Amino acid sequence: MSTADGPRLQVDVEKQMEGFYLAVQLEADTEVLVLFGASGSGKSSTLDAVAGLQHPDVGHIRLDGECYFRRPRPPATGPRCNLPARERGMGYVFQNYALFPHLTAEDNVAFALRRHPARQRRAGELLERMGLSSLGGRYPRELSGGQQQRVAIARALAPGPRVLLLDEPFSALDLALKARLQGDLLALQRELGLVVLYVTHNLDDAFAIGDRLAVIQEGRVRQVGSVEDVSRHPVDEHVAGIVGVRNLFRARVTGSTTEGLFLDWDGTPLETPQPLPPSSVPPEITAYIHPEDVKIIYPGVPLMEAVRHNLVEGHVVGHRRRGGGHLLLTHLSNGHEIEVAFQDYAYADLSLEPGQTVQLSLRRDAITTLSPHH
Amino acid sequence: MAWRDGPLVRWLDVRLLFTWPAAVVAATVVGLPLMFQAARAAIANVDPTLEQAARTLGSTELEILWRVTLPLARRGLLAGLALGATRALGEFGATLMVAGNIPGRTQTLPLAIYDAVQNRHYGDAEYMVLLVTSLGFLSLWWVRRLEQSGRPVSEPRTRQRLPRDDSPALESAP
């Protein structure tokens, strides 16, 4: 299906929204592209523009070389096109499923197959593919959330779309169910060779399903890349904040050598092994360290090489369980707070009650600096 | 000189006055606003996301109206029809004016009650009043049932609570 010239789906749209200006450029191939951002950032509007439910002011949307939308920016001229939503043939899975309540599951799936010669059979096949073959006669209100979501996916796939758009599809489901549905969706995407745009504000969703991640903020794409890449190397502090990077801080740069960078974080000296080119050393820099890379020092035990640097004292102010481990909130001597994450089995013999004083090491090789935000 | 026939008769040959269709027109005119209000609310209550979904599934606007909007608004439309009909049941003045009061041809129940009272047939009048009243109650009961059983189909709307006049926030300081 892929055409010779570039990615299959090309989106470059602008629209004046209420409160912000949407200006999004995206490209997607046969893959799952996650549109990630807070609510109101413009990711759902982007999805609606692709589906034809909203019309951009200017820009273009192309799929496999066909023009779905094109309106040149005023001084420029050229052919225009704007395919109505019903002719775009894109599968859309809505946030709250949007199943027709007056139709059975089977009739919901068959809704788009009105002129299909074997509509009942095709609907039955799709329901079976989604593991719902015995529930075709039920009305949406008689189905669980997960079953409704499966019907919604089957309905969107019924007309055989090339693109599947999902708007926060699994946000109302419990974790185990969500993981299973995400697995199913991924298998379908590979099997049918779909271009999938998946809107979410949940980073775990993005990790579970995304081939690539596009971070959207205030109507603009801030960064596109593999999910690991974006979360590990956010391009600036905004993206870092959006993808949920913890322990962001700003520090003064006190020195820069080939060995690395020396920082002063409000009185706490820190060093990182990331050298900067001498010409571009800013006076201040934003950096972060993942909570997993903050280590607690056992008092009176010789320090290992990895934790010999970046020592700072603090006291515990909070403690909660997270997944299979703990998250400790500590108040540092320099007035800032930092999160420390560790596994269940670690530090079992240390008292980490609130108020307790602890020695921390911010692993030298784990402090990551961000390029200054313009 | 006065025109005996109006333009409807002269140009379109529509002769309604003092026929039973005139009574229908009178009943419709008084029932329509109620019917319209209920129908409008029912259609506005249909979740627009469902219409969007139909659009992405290849439906034209007309198909959406027939296959999504009207079926989902059905109960509200029926309730509106029943309300309008109930209101029309008591229609008196306009019917008398345009349809007359011809027994066996254009006489409606309210007009018959009026006649009965004029002729001091109080027994007949009472029976007819009872009939009209029970028809009205029956219809309203049905409307209520439609509205109640219709609730699970469309999402219940959260009702906004307005502050009451006697709430402390509105009390002025002494």
Which residues sit opposite A24 in a β-bridge? A13
Across the range A334-355, mean pLDDT stands at 86
Instruction: Determine the distance in angstroms separating the CA of A100 from the nearest CA of chain B, rounded to an integer.
Output: 7
Per-residue pLDDT band for B1 (boundaries 50, 70, 90) equals low
Model confidence at A374: pLDDT above 50: no
Q: What is the pLDDT of residue A127?
A: 94
Model confidence at B156: pLDDT above 50: no
Distance CA B66, CA A88 (A): 21
Q: Which residues of A touch B154 (CB under 8 A)?
A: 101
Which CATH superfamily does the domain covering A9-90+161-242 fall into? Answer: P-loop containing nucleotide triphosphate hydrolases (3.40.50.300)
CATH number of B15-154: 1.10.3720.10
Q: What is the pLDDT of residue B174?
A: 36
Distance CA A96, CA A224 (A): 27
Q: What is the pLDDT of residue A238?
A: 84
Nearest to A100 among B58, B68, B152 (CB): B68
* Structure letter (DSSP) for residue B144: H
- Domains of chain A by residue range: 9-90+161-242, 248-370
Q: Which residues of B touch A90 (CB under 8 A)?
A: 56
- Domains of chain B by residue range: 15-154
Model confidence at A55: pLDDT above 50: yes
Half-sphere exposure of A222 (CA within 13 A, CB side): 26
Report the predicted TM-score, pTM, of the whole model to 2 decimal places: 0.75
User: Could A112 and B58 be called an inter-chain contact, meaning their C-beta atoms sit closer than 8 Å?
Assistant: yes
Q: Which residues of B touch A89 (CB under 8 A)?
A: 58
Q: Which residues of B touch A84 (CB under 8 A)?
A: 55
Across the range A292-300, mean pLDDT stands at 86
Search chain B and give the residue with CA nearest A110: B57
Reading the block at residue B47, the tokens are 């979740």
Residue of B45, B57, B70, B154 to mutate when probing chain A, most A C-beta within 10 A: B57
pLDDT in tens, A80-134: 999 999 999 999 999 999 999 999 999 999 999 988 888 889 999 999 989 898 9
Reading the block at residue B75, the tokens are 């109960």
pLDDT in tens, A106-121: 999 999 998 888 888 9
The total of other beta-carbon atoms located within 10 Å of residue A228's CB is 11
Q: Which residues of B touch A149 (CB under 8 A)?
A: none
CA distances from A298 to A295, A310, A357 (A): 10, 15, 11
User: Could A88 and B56 be called an inter-chain contact, meaning their C-beta atoms sit closer than 8 Å?
Assistant: yes
Nearest to B71 among A51, A102, A112 (CB): A102
Reading the block at residue A215, the tokens are 């971070």
Search chain A and give the residue with CA nearest B75: A102
Distance CA A116, CA A161 (A): 15
Greatest mean pLDDT range, A12-26, A306-320, B151-165: A12-26
Search chain A and give the residue with CA nearest B72: A102
User: Could A53 and B56 be called an inter-chain contact, meaning their C-beta atoms sit closer than 8 Å?
Assistant: yes
For chain A, give the mean pLDDT.
88
Residues belonging to chain A with any Cβ–Cβ distance to chain B shorter than 8 Å: 51-53, 84-92, 94, 96, 98, 100-102, 111-112, 114, 141, 155-156, 158-159
> Does domain A248-370 match CATH 2.40.50.100?
yes
CA distances from A202 to A150, A206, A209, A231, B9 (A): 20, 7, 11, 13, 71
Q: Which residues of B touch A100 (CB under 8 A)?
A: 50, 53-54, 68, 72
Distance CA A189, CA A88 (A): 19
Give every strand in the sheet of A311-322, ordered side by side. A294-297, A357-362, A311-322, A325-332, A337-343
Distance CA B116, CA A63 (A): 77
User: Looking at A274-283, B25-34, B81-90, which range is the least confident one?
Assistant: A274-283
Greatest mean pLDDT range, A101-105, A331-335, A347-351, B38-42: A101-105
% of chain A surpassing 70 pLDDT:
97
**ipTM for the complex shown:** 0.75
Nearest to A98 among B50, B58, B74 (CB): B50
Across the range B134-145, mean pLDDT stands at 92
Across the range A30-36, mean pLDDT stands at 95
